[in-house]
Structure 1
Amino acid sequence: MTTPHGLDQARDLDAEPLHSYDVFPAYQSASWELSDIPWDDFRPDLVRPEYVAFAMGAVMGESNSIAAQHGFLNEFVDDYDFSAFVCLWGYQELQHHLAFKKWLRLAGTDVGYEQINAMRAPYPPGTTPSATLATNIISEIATNHMYKCVSRVAEEPVIAKIMRRASGDEARHAREFIHYTARRLVGFPHELASVLETFYIYLADPNGRYQHPVSRFKSDLPELEGHVTIDEVFRYFGEVDDGSEWDRVTARLFATLAELTGRPITRLRDIRRALADVPATPGAAS
């Protein structure tokens, strides 16, 4: 089940239009506070350089929620419900940023404001609003599995706890981005090609393995030259994963496309076949 209501509700034009009304109490029941993290259990003797680099990369990656909210609210200016969800999503992403930042301070280091502020600029819109949503489905699913995988090997208990909390949030975020993509495609079915293209580009790129979409947009910012970025988070993910967790990521992405399209999609060739059967997105680059 993709959401508490499945995708039937997303595609039902007569269903409750304010899906965020249902998301809000669900998120409240699953939410956590910074005070829920056992900060007193922090073990400085178990802090390793790779954990510090990971936390710095997580701070940088999660700080993108501000830029993403800006972009979402502008691109979906005619969609109050999705905008309301974005506000709920952004709060939780900011909490991840602050939790990792607090852990860094316990470890005796921090991320400079100049680097965080460099992430503030909004992203360019996707080829279609549905493509923007698809990019975020990929981001949330990859990050959910990344935190889950790395939390299993992190020996310092506090950072492991933060990762587990964040992982659960990312899984819930992915479900709702899938919901809103399915709903968007009901009104704009011609945007399906852009969703398939977005998934295909990510899954087919050999350099995309253990890479977050954020790094493709903001990896070359001059303020970040020589500084740890979100790439460090996924580099460590690739180092500790035996391949099985990444296999789960790709399986979930293929399953999500199958759910969104109603087609059996389990491999790249299935995406190519689906693309051949759907009209190209009007105005998309050829």
Structure 2
Amino acid sequence: MTTPHKLEMARDLDAEPLHSYDVFPVYQKASWELSDIPWDEFRPDLVRPEYVAFAIGAVMGESNSIAAQHGFFNEFADDYDFSAFVCLWGYQELQHHLAFKKWLRLAGTDVGYEQINAMRAPYPPGITPSATLATNIISEIATNHMYKCVSQVAEEPVLTKIMKRASGDEARHAREFIHYTARRLVTHPHELASVLETFYVYMADPEGRYNHPVSKFKGNLPELDGHITIDEVFRYFGEVDDGSAWDRIHKQLLSTLGELTGESVVKLRDIRRILAELPRPAEDSR
């Protein structure tokens, strides 16, 4: 995860403005190809219905990267560096989508194009650009732990290897979304409230456990009526997790807010406290 030292670099407006220049070689070194997955080790005898449902949900969830890229390019039209990072991020997310899709075909099923295509429409802008970034921090951290947790209980070896690869990617994605959030808050400090609110809404909702932000935006598409969605991925995650993975997600999200705000954030009430202490808009304009 991003260290405080690196966040200080993100906040330094005199530092290298093209952070994606540094991200690219890191991602190249850590990248993998579909050919790196040992497809010949696929064990049809170990495929279970819940694995198939999980993989279908993963295909649906990862397919959102196209819509997200479109939304990012629109909302951050004045930020070349972040847009360059989005291109790197989007490639890896699409690879996850294709890897799970290939596994499904080995398992004798697939996801229809109509359902995938329904996810294509871009996301609307967030309350603020910083809130949009915050939503993606949550998404990446949650997905990182979800894949890691499920990979430890799934018995089909190829599916396990896909999840382990994807989990590492998601952790690196979270690190960079934190970087770009910290950088934006330097020049747009009034957007901090929207970041805190985004985290609080997700973490305080008792029904938000084992949910993904994508389901809040695209869970009611008519084309998905009766179809498996990303909700199945997190439902299964909740079924196999003994609570420790969710606790790690919770602690990591709070720790991230601590890094972004420079304050101690160990409980939800700390978020409310920081929000209450922020200057009111009227005071900002004086």
TM range (shorter): over 0.9
Equivalent pairs counted in the alignment come to: 282
Give the CA deviation at 1:281: 6.6
Kindly indicate whether the alpha-carbon contact (under 8 Å) linking 1:130 and 1:192 is maintained by their aligned counterparts in 2. Answer: yes
Over residues 10-53 of structure 1, what are the superposed CA-to-partner deviations in whole Å (9 max), with x where a residue is unaligned? 00011000000000000000000000000000000000000000
Tell me the equivalent position of 1:114: 114
Q: Could you say if the C-alpha distance between residues 193 and 120 of structure 1 is closer, same or farther in structure 2, counting changes exceeding 3 Å?
A: same
List aligned pairs for 1:109-258, cutoff 5 A: 109-258=109-258
User: Which amino acid in structure 2 is aligned with residue 140 of structure 1?
Assistant: E
Measure the CA separation in 1 of the matches of 2:220 and 2:123. Answer: 14
Q: Percent of pairs identical after alignment?
A: 84
Kindly indicate whether the alpha-carbon contact (under 8 Å) linking 2:4 and 2:259 is maintained by their aligned counterparts in 1. Answer: no
Give the CA deviation at 1:6: 1.2
Give the CA deviation at 1:140: 0.1
Whether 2:26 is the aligned partner of 1:31: answer no
Tell me the equivalent position of 1:81: 81
TM-score by length of 2: 0.97
1:248 match: secondary structure: helix
Give the CA deviation at 1:280: 5.1
Kindly indicate whether the alpha-carbon contact (under 8 Å) linking 1:20 and 1:81 is maintained by their aligned counterparts in 2. Answer: yes
Q: Could you say if the C-alpha distance between residues 29 and 280 of structure 1 is closer, same or farther in structure 2, counting changes exceeding 3 Å?
A: farther
Structure 1 segments, 4+ long, off by >2 Å, are: 279-282
Kindly indicate whether the alpha-carbon contact (under 8 Å) linking 1:11 and 1:183 is maintained by their aligned counterparts in 2. Answer: yes
2:152 match: secondary structure: helix
Give the CA deviation at 1:8: 1.1
Give the CA deviation at 1:126: 0.7
Measure the CA separation in 2 of the matches of 1:182 and 1:39. Answer: 40
Measure the CA separation in 1 of the matches of 2:114 and 2:281. Answer: 39
Whether 2:252 is the aligned partner of 1:273: answer no
1:109 match: secondary structure: coil
Over residues 163-213 of structure 1, what are the superposed CA-to-partner deviations in whole Å (9 max), with x where a residue is unaligned? 000000000000000000000000000000000000000000011000000
Kindly indicate whether the alpha-carbon contact (under 8 Å) linking 2:67 and 2:121 is maintained by their aligned counterparts in 1. Answer: yes
Measure the CA separation in 1 of the matches of 2:93 and 2:3. Answer: 19
2:210 match: secondary structure: coil
Kindly indicate whether the alpha-carbon contact (under 8 Å) linking 1:151 and 1:160 is maintained by their aligned counterparts in 2. Answer: yes
Give the CA deviation at 1:278: 1.1
Measure the CA separation in 1 of the matches of 2:159 and 2:124. Answer: 32
Q: Could you say if the C-alpha distance between residues 19 and 5 of structure 1 is closer, same or farther in structure 2, counting changes exceeding 3 Å?
A: farther
Unpaired runs of 5+ in structure 1? Answer: none
User: Which amino acid in structure 2 is aligned with residue 43 of structure 1?
Assistant: R
